């Protein structure tokens, strides 16, 4: 990218908001995957107008633009693989409105999920999407990835809580979609189109989010199992007994051994799986619902069932789950995956993941949100061992095709980005894929927005 364009950006946006020193570019070169690539320049807008100015210049000059939030993404979406402009939205981080009468919040994209949760809590509300990365990920990133989290079984995913968006399109035009109402069927649902579009169709500059009243209380039950399949069965037992839990978090196949050592946590390291089920609502109902959960765990063959007596104990039971991704690093390098299957197929998927691990001689701890069908099988490896990494590649590919074969999907919440781009052929019906590419061409005819992500066809000529 030539000096003339960098100077124009600097003249239009002002000092300190356009970074191009090698050190600054390195800081913006990666996300939470193994991917890394240097942007030519980093732009830090403070307003929608500045995002629009940047996109107008980029579109005129045909320069790639990669929107970026906190870079906690797990599919390589924010890695600027084709150079160009890294558009960091983290300085657009104001909560513009919390409206208690309408139960909505209006926020800029750089607001961190946790900060919205804290602000909403002061009114007795909450924002249901709660990715485990909630203390770092931005709402712009949550919207772009349609983020999920442990509470999805009960509350759904990010798209279910986005009422309206302001988006800057590739040519710099500012477009509003949706609005402030729960009901809105005027025209096509462009809001939903942009949620989960991974920065390939436009830059989200404002989000109107739906909030909910915070339930009065919460109770936690932990089931400890000798077989991970028993834990899956317990979840079905709970749901079919008429209780809709808040969370159904499983940690199995080596997770308990990795987790508690780090956290001083709850489960003995020799068990195959632990299951954390939370229920929430009025305190008077919680005791009964916890009984149902405990009985379902026992009926499925739990070795032990623990019930948290208070918040502190619940936190102790949750500590191992919260730190599991970091704790698995104790076992070696790790490739974290993210498939989803219909709930009834979870036991089969777990069996198949274990068989894949055996076939490729790899350890495959699994954790996930059983109730909504979303599993995170991890492949433990050594990145310096080329032969092992080839086995990892094949095992990951087989895991994706197995999920699809069982009626599921390549990704439940982390997105396609770069990491799964080359598998998307298998993951989509061909006419649907073709229409998606047509939508990309319609919104971004010069292919400047996050090129090379999601679809291999959007890679640009070198």
Ligand X SMILES: Cc1cc2nc3c(=O)[nH]c(=O)nc-3n(C[C@H](O)[C@H](O)[C@H](O)COP(=O)(O)OP(=O)(O)OC[C@H]3O[C@@H](n4cnc5c(N)ncnc54)[C@H](O)[C@@H]3O)c2cc1C
Which residue's CB is nearer to ligand X, number 93 or number 290?
93
Binder among 18, 44, 204, 349 for ligand X (CB under 6 A): 204
Query: If you ran DSSP here, which 8-state letter would residue 138 be given?
Result: B
58/197 Cα distance (integer angstroms):
19
Nearest CA to 400 out of 416, 382, 383 is that of 416
Residue span binding ligand X (CB under 6 A) among the ranges 127-135, 231-239, 251-259, 304-312: 127-135
Please state the φ and ψ torsions of residue 87, each to the nearest 5 degrees: -100, 95
223: contact with ligand X by CB under 6 A: no
- What sign results for the dihedral spanned by CA atoms 381, 385, 388, 394? positive
Binder among 64, 109, 259, 260 for ligand X (CB under 6 A): 109
171/59 Cα distance (integer angstroms):
6
391/346 Cα distance (integer angstroms):
24
306/162 Cα distance (integer angstroms):
37
Binder among 151, 154, 321, 414 for ligand X (CB under 6 A): 414
Binder among 39, 80, 128, 131 for ligand X (CB under 6 A): 131
Alpha carbon separation from 53 to 50, 109, 166, 168, 416 (Å, rounded): 5, 17, 15, 10, 28
| DSSP H/E element including 193 | helix 190-194
Which residue's CB is nearer to ligand X, number 146 or number 290?
146
- Give the x/- contact pattern for ligand X in 423-452, rule: CB under 6 A: ---------------------------x--
- Within 10 Å of residue 416's Cβ, how many Cβ atoms? 24
Of residues 62-91, those binding ligand X (CB under 6 A): 66-74, 77-78, 89
Which residue's CB is nearer to ligand X, number 133 or number 274?
133
As a 3-state breakdown, the chain gives helix, strand, coil percent values, each rounded to 5, of: 40, 20, 40
Of residues 136-155, those binding ligand X (CB under 6 A): 137-138, 140-142, 144-145, 147-149
- Give the x/- contact pattern for ligand X in 321-360, rule: CB under 6 A: ----x-----------------------------------
305: contact with ligand X by CB under 6 A: no
31: contact with ligand X by CB under 6 A: yes
| Contact residues for ligand X, defined by CB under 6 A | 31-32, 66-74, 77-78, 89, 109, 131-133, 137-138, 140-142, 144-145, 147-149, 198-199, 203-204, 325, 413-414, 417, 450
């Amino acid at each position: 990218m030539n000096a003339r364009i960098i100077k124009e950006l600097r003249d239009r946006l002002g000092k300190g908001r356009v970074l191009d020193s090698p050190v600054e570019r390195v800081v913006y070169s990666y996300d939470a995957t193994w991917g890394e690539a240097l942007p030519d320049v980093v732009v830090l807008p403070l307003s929608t107008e500045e995002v629009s100015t940047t996109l107008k210049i980029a579109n005129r000059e045909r320069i790639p633009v990669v929107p970026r939030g906190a870079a906690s993404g797990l599919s390589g979406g924010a890695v600027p693989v084709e150079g160009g402009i890294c558009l960091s939205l983290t300085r657009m981080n104001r909560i513009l409105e919390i409206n208690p009468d309408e139960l909505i919040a209006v926020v800029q994209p750089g607001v961190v999920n946790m900060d919205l949760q804290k602000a909403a809590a002061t009114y007795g509300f909450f924002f249901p999407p709660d990715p485990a990365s909630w203390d770092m990920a931005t709402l712009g990133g949550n919207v772009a990835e349609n983020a999920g989290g442990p509470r999805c079984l009960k509350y759904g995913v990010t798209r279910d809580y986005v009422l309206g968006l302001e988006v800057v399109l590739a040519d710099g035009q500012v477009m509003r979609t949706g609005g402030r109402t729960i009901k809105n069927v005027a025209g096509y649902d462009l809001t939903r189109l942009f949620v989960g579009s991974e920065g390939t169709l436009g830059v989200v500059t404002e989000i109107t989010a739906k909030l909910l009243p915070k339930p009065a209380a919460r109770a936690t039950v932990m089931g400890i199992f000798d077989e991970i399949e028993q834990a899956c069965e317990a979840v079905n037992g709970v749901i079919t007994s008429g209780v809709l839990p808040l969370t159904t978090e499983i940690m199995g196949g080596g997770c308990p051994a990795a987790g508690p050592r780090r956290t001083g946590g709850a489960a003995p390291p020799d068990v195959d799986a632990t299951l954390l089920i939370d229920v929430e609502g009025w305190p008077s109902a919680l005791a009964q619902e916890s009984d149902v959960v405990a009985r379902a765990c026992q009926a499925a063959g739990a070795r032990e069932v623990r019930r948290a007596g208070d918040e502190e104990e619940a936190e102790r039971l949750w500590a191992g789950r919260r730190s599991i991704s970091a704790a698995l690093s104790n076992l070696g390098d790790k490739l974290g995956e993210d498939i989803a299957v219909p709930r009834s197929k979870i036991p089969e998927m777990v069996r198949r993941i274990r068989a894949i691990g055996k076939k490729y001689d790899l350890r495959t701890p699994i954790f996930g949100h059983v109730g909504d069908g979303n599993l995170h099988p991890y492949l433990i490896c050594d990145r310096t061992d080329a032969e092992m990494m080839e086995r990892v590649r094949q095992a990951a590919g087989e895991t994706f095709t197995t999920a699809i074969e069982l009626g599921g999907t390549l990704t439940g919440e982390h997105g396609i980005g770069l990491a799964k781009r080359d598998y998307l052929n298998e993951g989509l019906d061909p006419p649907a894929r073709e229409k998606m590419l047509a939508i990309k061409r319609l919104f971004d005819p010069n292919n400047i927005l996050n090129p090379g992500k999601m679809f291999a066809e959007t890679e640009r000529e070198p």
